[in-house]
Structure 1
Amino acid sequence: MGNEYSWNADDYAKNSPFQKKWARELIKKLSLKGNEWILDIGCGDGKVTFEIAQHVPDGCAVGIDSSEEMVKLASKMFPPSKYPNLSFKLLDVREMDFFEEFDVIFSNAALHWVIDHKPVLRRMFRALKPGGRAVVQMGGKGNAAGVVEVLNKIMTENPWKEYFLDFSFPYGFYSLERYKPWLIDAGFKVQYIELKPKMMIYESVEKFKGWIRTTWLPYINRVPEKLRNSFIDLVVERYLDKHPIDGNGRIKVSMQRLEFVAVR
C-alpha cells in the first residue's frame, strides 16, 4: 500500500519480521479447503501471498499492491512459470474493480495506509462471491503510540518543523466503535471484530532503526535525504529515553491491531 511513497522493497523485506509472523497467525484463521480463490490486499514482497497459495493447490492467490517496487520484487521471487496458482498485480485497493471473483479477501498490515475506508470496504464487498469472507488485520487506534508520540514532538522542533508544515496524520488507525458500522454499511455481516494488543520486540538498536527507516516513510520522506539518518537516530534516541532497552537488551514497541472477519 501507500503508493505515494517510494519503497525500498528489499530493505522492507529484511525489516518486517513481525508483519510476517502476524500474517501467519491470520492465515491459520482462514480454514481453507484448498480450492479457494484468494485476494491478498497489500501483498508487499509476496512472501505471505506465496504461503497462502500453498494452502490452495486447486485454487489461486492473487496479490495486489500499489507499490511498483514491491510488485516487481514479488513477481521476481515467485514467477508464474514456477508458481502457476500465484500472481501479482500492481493495483491500488482504492481503484480495484473485481466483481464476485474471490472466496476470501486477506489483508495483513496494509489497510491502515488508507485513510478513507468506506469506499474501499464497498469495493471489497463487490470483489467477494456471495458467502465470501474478508479476513483482515491492520494497525488500530493507539497503534505504536510510543513512536507516534516521539514523532509528533520532533515535528514541532527546529530544524525539523519546516519539513512538516502541512503534515496530517498518514495512517487510518481506527477504533472498533468507528469501524464496525462501516463494515455493516458496506453490506458485510461481521463475524467478529476486535482490537488486539501485540508487542514488537527488537533484539538490537540497528534492527529497531531498520523498522523505523522502512515503515515510517510518511515521516522519513519529508526530511531531505542528507538529514534522514540524523532524523532516524533522533527518533530512536527519544523513544529509548521513554522506553529503555530491557535487561535482555531488547527494545519493545506496544502495538494495537484491528482484526475482523466479515462475510458477504
Structure 2
Amino acid sequence: MHEWKAELYDDKLGFVSQYGRGILEILNVQQGEKVLDLGCGTGDLSHEIAQLGASVIGMDLSEEMMERARIKYPDINFISGNAENFSLDEPVNAVFSNAALHWVKNAESVISSVWNALEEGGRFVAEFGGKGNVEMIVKAITDVLSQDYSVDANELNPWYFPSIGEYSQLLEQQGFRITYAVHFDRPTQLEDGENGLEHWLNGLAADVFFKDFSESEKKRIFTKIATHARESLFNGETWIADYKRIRVVAFK
C-alpha cells in the first residue's frame, strides 16, 4: 500500500485539491445533503463541501492523512476506510471523489461499495486519472529502472487509468445511469520550480517504485528520471505533468 506523507502532500502537492474545485461545481451540493468524500486525503475538499451546507463524512485508507484532516477540520467526521470494501451506517445523497480512485485497481468493488452507500436516486461524482495519465513520467521511470537497475516498473505500477468506455461499462453493469462523462487533458504545473518533479516522485511514487532503494540512491534515480523527462515536461522554469483526467456523474 502507498504510504502517504501528509505534510508533503499539503505543502508540495496542494494542486490536487485546487484542481478538485472544478469537480465540486459539478457535484452541486444542496443545503442539508449527506455527502461521502471518498479518498478525502487531508480534508480540504471535505471542508469546502461542508461550507456549502452539507453534512460530510470524509473517508481515506491512510491513517496519517486522516490524523492531519482531523487536526485541520475538527468539526468534520473523518473515518478510515478502504474504497474497495466499505459500508456506511446510513445511505448518503452523494458520493464524491477527487484524485483517489486511480489508486484502487479493483474498480468493480469500489463501484459496488459506492452503489450500496447511496440512497435511491443518489449520485456518484468523481474525477481521477484516465487512460494516458502521467504517461511521460511513467515512461521516464520505466526507462531508468529498466536500463540502469534491471527493474520492471510495470510490475510495480500501482495505478488504474481506464478509458472512459471501460469505466462507463463498469458503472452501467452495476446499474448506474451515467449522465456526464468526459476524458480530458489537464497539463498540471508542479509546485516549486526545478524541484517540482522530485516532490511529485517523493509524494506519489517513491514508496511504490523505489521502496527497495536507499534515500541517496533515490536521489540519483530522481535526477536520472528528470533528465529523461526534461525535454517533454520542463518548460525552462517549471515542470508540467501530463495529466489526463476522467470526470463522471452517475445516478443510482
User: In the alignment, is the contact (CA less than 8 A) between 2:85 and 2:109 conserved in 1?
Assistant: no
User: In the alignment, is the contact (CA less than 8 A) between 1:213 and 1:220 conserved in 2?
Assistant: no
1:7 to 4, 13, 24: 4
Counterparts of 1:250 and 1:66, CA distance in 2: 31
- Identity, % of aligned positions: 25
CA shift digits 1:63-104 (9 cap, x unpaired): 11111110111111111xxx2xx2111111112023661101
User: In the alignment, is the contact (CA less than 8 A) between 1:99 and 1:126 conserved in 2?
Assistant: no
Counterparts of 1:221 and 1:197, CA distance in 2: 30
**What letter matches 1:149 in structure 2?**
K
Counterparts of 1:147 and 1:31, CA distance in 2: 33
Counterparts of 2:117 and 2:89, CA distance in 1: 4
Moved more, 64-73 or 213-222: 213-222
1:25 to 3, 22, 29: 22
Residue in structure 2 matched with residue 199 of structure 1 by the alignment = 187
DSSP-derived class of the 1:194 partner: strand
The offset of 1:236, in angstroms, is 1.6
CA shift digits 1:36-81 (9 cap, x unpaired): 100011111111111111112xx411111111110111111111xx
Unaligned runs of 5+ residues in structure 1 are none
DSSP-derived class of the 1:129 partner: strand
Counterparts of 2:212 and 2:159, CA distance in 1: 15
Q: TM-score, normalised by structure 1?
A: 0.89
1:97-116 aligned at under 5 Å gives the runs 97-98=87-88, 101-116=91-106
User: In the alignment, is the contact (CA less than 8 A) between 1:140 and 1:256 conserved in 2?
Assistant: yes
User: In the alignment, is the contact (CA less than 8 A) between 2:84 and 2:106 conserved in 1?
Assistant: no
User: In the alignment, is the contact (CA less than 8 A) between 2:153 and 2:209 conserved in 1?
Assistant: no
Give the 3 Å change call, closer, same or farther, for CA 170–37 of structure 1 in structure 2: same
Counterparts of 2:143 and 2:153, CA distance in 1: 13
**What letter matches 1:23 in structure 2?**
G
Counterparts of 1:194 and 1:110, CA distance in 2: 17
1:223 to 213, 217, 232: 213
1:1-264 aligned at under 5 Å gives the runs 4-56=1-53, 59-79=54-74, 83=75, 86-98=76-88, 101-158=91-148, 160-162=149-151, 164=152, 167-202=155-190, 204-217=193-206, 218-246=208-236, 249-264=237-252
Judging by fraction of residues, say which structure has more helix.
2
User: In the alignment, is the contact (CA less than 8 A) between 1:141 and 1:175 conserved in 2?
Assistant: yes
The offset of 1:165, in angstroms, is 7.8
User: In the alignment, is the contact (CA less than 8 A) between 2:156 and 2:209 conserved in 1?
Assistant: no
Post-superposition, which runs of at least 4 consecutive aligned residues in structure 1 deviate over 6 A? none
DSSP-derived class of the 1:73 partner: helix
**What letter matches 2:70 in structure 1?**
S
Give the 3 Å change call, closer, same or farther, for CA 186–100 of structure 1 in structure 2: farther
Moved more, 12-21 or 46-55: 12-21
Counterparts of 1:161 and 1:150, CA distance in 2: 14
Unaligned runs of 5+ residues in structure 2 are none
The offset of 1:228, in angstroms, is 1.5
